[in-house]
Chains A and B, each alone.
Chain A
Amino acid sequence: MAEKLDLNLIRKDFPILDQQVNGSPLVYFDNAATTQKPQVVIDALNRYYTQDNANIHRGLHTLAERATTGYELTRTKLKDFLHAPSTDQIIFTSGTTAGINLVAQTYGRANFTAGDVILVSNLEHHSNIVPWQMIAQETGAEVQVIPVDELGVLDMVAYQSLLTDRVKLVAVNHVSNAIGTINPIKQMIDWAHRVGAKVLIDGAQSVAHFDIDVQALDLDFFVFSAHKLFGPTGVGVLFGKRELLETMPPYQGGGEMIKEVSFSGTTYNELPYKFEAGTPNIADVYAFGFALDYLASLPKNAVWEQEKALLDYATEQLSQIDGLRIVGQAPEKIAVVSFVIDGVHPQDIGVLLDKFGVAIRTGHHCAQPLMARYDLVGTCRASFAFYNTKEEIDLFVKALKRCLMMLS
């Protein structure tokens, strides 16, 4: 098991990492916002547009055939990646947000009525709150919130008591984007199913870190974005159970999603095309397949060990800074460290760190209810990927100490 990642080799796969920013070597610790792309993904994008570009599914010519095959091949790879029962339960969207909105506007509109409850958690990103508030307002359903404790762990006792037969859907993230908590989704799904509720898991922050088995988890809906999984921006994935997807009305109308159109009525296409109106993001979907191949080629345990080592080392180094407090200390966390420093606004840290070549995220991380829970205006968040190194953490901590000297 002693297999370790050869970081020198791995970093060469991500050309963007090798550059100077503001005169210092780039330290990219904003992986929870988006991950960098391996050369194979960049090459695939280039190859698609230089050799294969055509519109998919209807063209009879060779390029259309190649483009269609490339696009659908990614769907097949995703079926394996998610351990899904079939490719037609894999729907391409533009991102996590689009996937959640799709479920809210189709499943939600068809199934929620006045008095129903949609359960979200206090850890959610705005994109897993606002779409539910919007559909709740339309249908008379109510959004209720699973509380979170001081450490950043969901209150499972409260969850249990919130789970009444009024709950139609539980929408929670697998991993908190702001503070890194890993939620016990298997248990949450089982409990929800016992009261007849469906579950949507926002996997935006988890797919880059764990194996996902949608069947073992008995997931109803799972959504994530390619760009947080070393793939291109503008591609998202929605997995859904067949019986749910089949009974859901279409989302957007247009080409591709239809079977037959006449002015007396239109019939809709089969899954997954029913939900893929219009020309999709063919090039990026195609290139995303190469990100999945790249990940599959890495030794999974070694990736996990590397991320764990980075989390532990960063936590230890940051904890030694006077006045620094780590926000989110759940026992189960991904490689994300969110922190605040007494008397210093996160924005000042973010601005100055950038001058030292260090990219982190500052602010509310699109999780204002969570910031309000901890009475914070925001945090500084360093988020790691397997291509990051301990040496980069040293550069980051040194830069942070210099920033604090400048600000004091």
Chain B
Amino acid sequence: MINQTQDELIEEFGLFDDWADKYEYLIDLGKKLLPMSESFKTEDNVIKGCQSKVWLHAEKQGDLVVFQADSEAIIVKGMISMLIRVLSNHTPEEIIKADLYFIDQIGMSQHLAQTRSNGLVAMVKQMKNYAVAFSAIA
């Protein structure tokens, strides 16, 4: 369930009191992001509107949409890692309907504001666009 994963993330970030620890955890998530297949790092898969390069690939496996992504910047990778954990391996309908409240509730919304306008919004939009495309095909 998408919301269950979001609640897990909120709980994990709740373990840290200060921003530096939260960032270190985010950076850690970025480092642990599963590597993206190099063949998917194409210009077509680049998300526009980010200061660092972000690649996003989506494919349908059975009924589920599976995302792979990568970035040159580690903090962005941390955000990608959270988004993939929340949205990957769900049906297009679940992804389209998902309300991503965790972004505001992991206690970093003020901190993420800057990168949010820089890429987070574009990433979420692109992931949902893929879901819309897959649901149309189905």
Contact = CB atoms under 8 A, between A and B. Distances in A.
A406 B19 CA distance: 12
Interface stretch (A200-208, A226-234, A345-353): A345-353
B115 A351 contact: yes
A406 B24 contact: yes
Contact of B51 (A344, A352, A378, A406): A378
A292 B47 CA distance: 44
Contacts of B52: 345, 347, 377
A354 B51 CA distance: 16
B111 A355 contact: yes
A24 to B, nearest CB: 11
A363 B50 CA distance: 10
B80 to A, nearest CB: 13
A345 B74 contact: yes
A93 interface: no
A362 B76 CA distance: 15
A407 B72 contact: no
Contacts of A407: 27, 74
A407 B74 CA distance: 8
Contact of B27 (A22, A347, A363, A406): A406
Given A406-B24, A406-B27, A347 B19 contact: no
B53 interface: yes
Given A363-B51, A377-B52, A406-B24, A354 B114 contact: yes
Given A363-B51, A378-B51, A347 B76 contact: yes
**Main secondary structure on B side of the interface with A:** helix
A354 B19 CA distance: 12
A113 B129 CA distance: 46
B73 A347 contact: yes
Interface string B96-138: 0000000000000001001100100000000000000000000
A402 to B, nearest CB: 8
B1 interface: no
Nearest to B74: A348
Contacts of B72: 345, 347, 377
Contacts of A344: 74
B23 interface: yes
Given A377-B53, A378-B51, A407-B27, A348 B20 contact: no
A347 B111 contact: no
Given A345-B74, A347-B75, A348-B75, A355 B24 contact: no
Interface in B9-66: 19-20, 23-24, 27, 51-53
A406 B20 contact: yes
Contacts of B118: 347
Interface string A330-367: 00000000000000110110011011000000110000
A11 to B, nearest CB: 26
A223 to B, nearest CB: 27
Contacts of A406: 20, 23-24, 27
Given A362-B51, A407-B27, A348 B73 contact: yes
B18 to A, nearest CB: 9
Given A345-B52, A345-B73, A377-B72, A351 B24 contact: no
Contacts of B51: 347, 362-363, 378
B109 to A, nearest CB: 14
Nearest to A408: B27
A352 B53 CA distance: 18
A303 B111 CA distance: 35
A406 to B, nearest CB: 6
Interface in B53-93: 53, 72-76
Given A345-B72, A377-B53, A355 B19 contact: yes
A345 B20 CA distance: 18
A22 B23 CA distance: 14
B20 A355 contact: yes
17 contacts: A344-B74, A345-B52, A345-B74, A347-B51, A347-B73, A347-B75, A347-B76, A348-B73, A348-B74, A352-B23, A352-B75, A354-B114, A355-B19, A355-B23, A377-B53, A377-B72, A406-B27
Given A345-B74, A347-B115, A406-B24, 18 more contacts: A22-B19, A344-B74, A345-B72, A347-B76, A347-B118, A348-B73, A348-B74, A348-B75, A351-B114, A352-B23, A352-B75, A355-B19, A355-B20, A362-B51, A377-B52, A378-B51, A407-B27, A407-B74
Closest 5 CB pairs of A and B: A345-B73, A347-B73, A347-B52, A347-B51, A345-B72
